[in-house]
Amino acid sequence: MLHGIDLFIVIAFIVGIFAVGVYFRKYVRTSEDFFLAGRNLTWWIIGMSIIGTNIGSYDYVGGAGAAYGVGIAQANYEWIGAIPAMVISALIFVPYYWKAGVYTVPEYLGKRYSQPVRTIEALLWGCFLIACLSIFFWASGVMIETYLGWSIWTGIIVTAVVVGFYTVSGGLTAVAMTDVIQLVIMLVGGIAIAIIGFDLVDGWGGLIAKIQPAHPDHFKLFLPLDNPDYPWLGMIFGLALVLSPAWWCCHQAIIQRTLGAKSEWDAKAGMLSAAFLKTLVPLLYVLPGLFVLALCTTGLDNKDQALPWAVKNLLPVGLSGLIFAAFIAAVYSSIDSTLNSAVTIWSRDIYQNFFKKDASDKHYLNFGRWLTVIFILIAVPLAPITENFGIYKAMQVALSYFQGATLATILLGIMWARSTPWGGLAGLVLGVVCSILLTATGMNFLYVAWWSFVVAIIFNVLVSLFTKPKPIEELTGLVYGLVMKNENIQNNLSDRAEGGA
């Protein structure tokens, strides 16, 4: 339970975020304002919003616990498992999505390949994002119950009202701006823990001296192949080469901020600035996990208790409130982004594509707002199921089912003009089937991702070689090799994107 001052800080944070989010309602007049912030986001807002979205409550609690258990190898998910992919995303994928003038990643696939490919991707991501919403709502309820003593349902409903209201009101602009504030709070909290922790363990040297004798592998990033969770081969081939690019190049909630950039340069710089911030993310949870290992002499029964132990035993009054505000910030920033992205996919790729093609812009804006409310009303009652049936883990597995195939499909779509609509469909479907079959054999998900990626590439190429490609003029602006050397095409594309094509 938090002290009165801590409680005041937490409530002030929630009220402040609510007010800031609602303030941005006045900037939303069209559906483009709602879904893409009027294509007016600058690079630093994009970068901070991407990282705010990326850090969730599980990163804090589960990440600190993993760092307590295995050490800095957990940082692989932030470093080799993110940074190279973010550089590639910034310099290849993001500019092509932006120039295509699309609202969603499936919409790009529809233009590049075909409607079936777009629809399959939209349904996979649309369902996944809604399930994630339920998980995040449950996490918020559990967290608020643990630290504030409110019931889980009170916590969930407060979260739903606050996040739902500003997401409905301000759309992506409100989501991005609140993400910025939330990330600042997270970083300030992380730096505060680092300062206090290093003071208690006598600096970096003291931390190593306290941990390394009993845990010699805790300061190694690459662990041996026989490590069940962090084998170096899986880290490089599964995580760095497939799962990470799939996340940073194809995830709608990540990419959507860059689609709202005011220029192609801002879109690219936004993703690269996020890579700089990503380098700092282990400060938030890897270091606290190590501090607890060094300072908690009795040991922990459950390693996921590492961060709560740190908050309870290491932090002074006032700072505990700030750290808890950072936890809430992590949950809120994940919920608002997931909500907005889910609504964008279901509105653009399903509703507008299949049910209402030629309605007024006002209609799509209102539909987006109502759909936001509906998704909250669906996700909140489903939240307890995510706890009872271990859905979080199931969703991680589900994500590995289609990430490898998605990456292969988009990669060939952008890099190889010869890839055909049938090739894209075959690669996507057979890659997903391959993932499901390999997972059933009990293979580590890092290796599943790699092999499903390889299978999707092979079938995409094979089927493409025997089927008819799209005419070159239909691929202009969608495929890397076709536009790089043509200045006229580049200029025309920029004009088209700026016009919101």
Partner 1 sequence: MIESLKSIPIGTVKIIGAIFFLIVMFWAVTRPRAYIFRGAPDQSAWRDLRIWAVIVLLVQIYLYMKF
Residues that bind partner 1 (CB under 8 A): 72, 79-80, 83-84, 87-88, 90-91, 95, 219-222, 224-226, 232-233, 236, 240, 263-269, 272-273, 275-276, 279, 484, 487, 490, 494
* Chain position carrying tokens 């208790």: 305
Measured distance CA(104)–CA(405) in Å, rounded = 17
CA distances in angstroms from 7 to 179, 320, 340, listed in the order given: 21, 9, 29
Residue 226 has a CB neighbour count (10 Å cut-off) of 6
Largest CA distance in the chain: 70
Amino acid identity for residue 454 in this structure: V
| Cβ atoms of residues 185 and 322 within 8 Å | yes
> CB of residue 351 vs partner 1: minimum separation in angstroms?
31
> CB of residue 234 vs partner 1: minimum separation in angstroms?
11
> CB of residue 72 vs partner 1: minimum separation in angstroms?
6
Measured from the CB atom, the residue of 141 and 477 that comes closer to partner 1 is 477
> CB of residue 235 vs partner 1: minimum separation in angstroms?
9
Angle at 451 between CA 450 and CA 453, to 5 degrees: 65
Measured from the CB atom, the residue of 214 and 225 that comes closer to partner 1 is 225
| Cβ atoms of residues 164 and 379 within 8 Å | no
DSSP for 442-496 reads T--HHHHHHHHHHHHHHHHHHHHHTSPPPPHHHHTTTSHHHHTT-HHHHHHHHHH
Measured from the CB atom, the residue of 215 and 220 that comes closer to partner 1 is 220
Q: Which residues pair with 231 in a beta bridge?
A: 223
464 contact partners, CB below 8 Å, separation of at least 6:
412, 416, 418, 419, 420, 422, 423
Measured from the CB atom, the residue of 357 and 485 that comes closer to partner 1 is 485
> CB of residue 470 vs partner 1: minimum separation in angstroms?
24
> CB of residue 333 vs partner 1: minimum separation in angstroms?
22
> CB of residue 221 vs partner 1: minimum separation in angstroms?
5
* Chain position carrying tokens 């600096």: 203
Token pair in block for residue 171: 């759309």
* Chain position carrying tokens 């616990």: 65
Measured distance CA(66)–CA(199) in Å, rounded = 23
> CB of residue 285 vs partner 1: minimum separation in angstroms?
16
CA distances in angstroms from 270 to 52, 120, 410, 476, listed in the order given: 13, 28, 21, 25
| Cβ atoms of residues 82 and 278 within 8 Å | yes
Measured from the CB atom, the residue of 167 and 258 that comes closer to partner 1 is 258
Measured distance CA(412)–CA(252) in Å, rounded = 18
Measured from the CB atom, the residue of 156 and 284 that comes closer to partner 1 is 284
> CB of residue 404 vs partner 1: minimum separation in angstroms?
18
Measured from the CB atom, the residue of 7 and 233 that comes closer to partner 1 is 233
> CB of residue 389 vs partner 1: minimum separation in angstroms?
34
> CB of residue 382 vs partner 1: minimum separation in angstroms?
39
Measured from the CB atom, the residue of 311 and 438 that comes closer to partner 1 is 438
Measured distance CA(96)–CA(93) in Å, rounded = 5
| Cβ atoms of residues 430 and 459 within 8 Å | yes
Measured distance CA(258)–CA(51) in Å, rounded = 12
Measured from the CB atom, the residue of 75 and 475 that comes closer to partner 1 is 75
Measured from the CB atom, the residue of 8 and 265 that comes closer to partner 1 is 265
Measured from the CB atom, the residue of 92 and 323 that comes closer to partner 1 is 92
Token pair in block for residue 34: 């709602």
DSSP assigned state of 262: S
